[in-house]
Amino acid sequence: MFKKLFILTVLILTTKVFAQSENIEIKTKNLKKANYLKVNDFYLTHHLYIDMFLRENLYPEATIADVDATIKAIKTYVSEESSLDIEIDKPGKRNYLIRIAVIKKENTPDILVVFTNWDAKDKHFEKKISIENDSYTRWYYLVDDKMTYRKDISDKNDYSEMSKSDLANAYLFDEIKENDDQVEKLIEENLVDNDLSITEEIYSNLILLKLYILQGVDKNIKVMTEYLDEKFKEHELDKGINGLKMAYKATLFQKQLMDK
C-alpha cells in the first residue's frame, strides 16, 4: 500500500508553496487549503515535533518558526488527494527530505504517514525519499480529533500489566477519547504512594502537565510547570532524570507551538 502510494507521488511534479524560514522549503501538488486534518493541536505538535525533528537527531536545532511553519502546512494542505513535500537544508550533508501523505480506506481509521530520506541503519540522508526497510518512516491513526502512533493503539498493548503512571500515559496517547478522562485520577492515585522514586514522581507529574496542556487549563499548566522547574533544580545532579529533562524541554517547546 505504501509502496504504491510512493510510486504515484514521485511521478508527480511538485510546485513550491512557501518558505517560512531560510532552512525549510515546503512544497505540494495543486495547492489547495483543505484543512483536512481535524486533529487536536496537542497531538499534532507532540508527535510531529518529536518524530520529525528530535528522533534520530534529524533536526534538533529547529526553531519555533521552523516547526510551526511545517506543522501548519501539514495541517492545512495534506489530504488524501494531496501529499506534501518538505526539504530542510542540512549544511555539509544531503538535505533532509520529508513526504507527508494521508491514506484513506473503508472501515478503518485514516492513516497519516511520514516518509523520509533518512537511512536509520547507516545513519545518513539518502539522495531521495525512500520507503525501503531501513528508511525512517512513521505512521499514525486519525480517530476523531486524536492522532495515535501505530504502536500506541489500544489493542497493541496489555493495559492490565501496566503501572498506574504508564497506564495514564497510554490512555493519554491511545485512540480512545474516553480514556483521557481517567488520566488525572490514575496519576493522583499514584502520587499518594510515599515511596515513589524521584524519577517516578517527575514522570507522573509530567504526564499531568501534558494532560493540562491538552485541556488548555492555563492555571494548572502554570502550577505544574513551576513544580517541575523546582524538582529539576533540586535534582540537577541526578543523571537518572536526564531523559525526563529532555521530555520536559520538548513539552515546553510544544506548548510554545500551540500558543502561536
Locate the domains of the chain by residue range: 2-151, 157-259
Has residue 13 got a pLDDT over 90?
A: no
Mean pLDDT of all residues in the chain? 88
Provide the terminal-to-terminal Cα distance of the chain, rounded to the nearest Å.
Answer: 36
The set of cell numbers assigned to 47 is: 508527535
Largest CA distance in the chain: 61
Specify the pLDDT at position 88: 92
Among the ranges given (5-9, 38-42, 189-193, 194-198), the one the predictor scored with the smallest mean pLDDT = 5-9
For 113-132, how does the pLDDT look when each residue is reduced to its tens digit (9 = 90+)? 999 999 999 999 999 998 88
Strand ranges in 146-194 using DSSP code E only, listed in sequence order: 146-149
- Give just the sign of the alpha carbon dihedral 149, 147, 19, 252: negative
pLDDT band at 20 (very low <50, low <70, confident <90, very high): low
Q: What share of the chain is helix, strand, coil (3-state, %, to 5)?
A: 50, 20, 30
Among the ranges given (33-42, 93-102, 108-117, 233-242), the one the predictor scored with the smallest mean pLDDT = 33-42
Question: Residue 181 carries which DSSP code?
Answer: G
Q: What is the mean pLDDT of residues 94-101?
A: 94
Specify the pLDDT at position 38: 86
What is the Cα–Cα distance from 56 to 76, expressed in whole angstroms? Answer: 26
**Would the pTM count as exceeding 0.85?**
yes
What is the DSSP pairing of strand 135-143 with strand 110-119? antiparallel
Specify the pLDDT at position 8: 31
Burial class (CB in 10 A: 0-12, 13-18, 19+), 207: buried
Specify the pLDDT at position 31: 62
What is the SS3 assignment for 35? coil
What is the SS3 assignment for 252? helix
